[in-house]
Amino acid sequence: MKKKLKKTAKKKSKPVNHDLALREQLVSLLKGGEAHVHFMDAIEGFPEAKRGAFVEGFRHTGWQLLEHARIAQWDILEFSRDAKHVSPGFPESYWPKTPGPQDEAAWAKSVQEFQHDLQEMIKLVKNQKTDLCSAIPHGQGQTILRDFQLTGCDLYTTCEPCPMCLGAIYWARPTRIFYAATATDAAGAGFDDAFIYDELKIAPAGRRIPMTQLLRDDSLAVFLAWKQEENKTPY
């Protein structure tokens, strides 16, 4: 006697909430970690005697960088949520007047305010009512999600940027980059940075992963459409 086989219903996969996933990723980036150092990890144990000291090759002290980060973050936060906000004069008002803090209390106050505004920015991003992608009404094309221009900013990194990061950096147009380890140092630690730099010097067809050009005329039509678009943000 044959047994009847019961049909098992296929479980439907839940649709991906892309908006929620984007917000979670932004929060992760704001908190730090992954490719970025956590804020508290960067300043924890910072010697009090060296907070106002200049290091050879660097234009700013630890105190100046801390205050600069606090002021810049506060400005971004308030601009994002308050149409009446007036940004401080750039660049002079984004930096403290002295190399070092007046006392321990000034340092602690700066750290506390940075952390407070960071949490406020995280709340803004988490809020489902916050439109991440539409242009801020009182801005000049900026959105909560991004403003690709970093004109006037200095970038500090633990290593010479890899080609992917370097491309993003050039798009963002900061003023200067300060880095510690070199691409060669990164290669010695097992990263492919130097190898990719070498690949860029080779003609596309001869690279380790060969590249073949196709449909150039069709792609030029896309660029032509971009050129003719009136409602665009120039790069």
CB 177 within 8 A of CB 155: yes
User: For residue 54, what are its two tokens?
Assistant: 């200049």
Spatial distance between the Cα atoms of 164 and 158, rounded to a whole number of angstroms:
16
Mean of per-residue pLDDT scores for the chain: 86
> Mean pLDDT, 10 residues at a time, over the chain (235 residues)?
56 75 87 76 90 88 94 93 92 92 96 95 92 87 74 82 87 86 88 83 90 89 88 68
Calculate helix-pair angle for 104-126, 62-81, nearest 10 degrees.
30
Residue 220 corresponds to which amino acid?
A: L
Domains of the chain are 18-142 (no CATH), 148-230 (3.40.140.10)
- How many residues make up the chain in this entry? 235
Q: What does the buried/exposed string (b/e) look like for 119-142 if buried means 16 or more CB atoms within 10 Å of the residue's CB?
A: ebbeebbeeeeeeeeeebeeeeeb
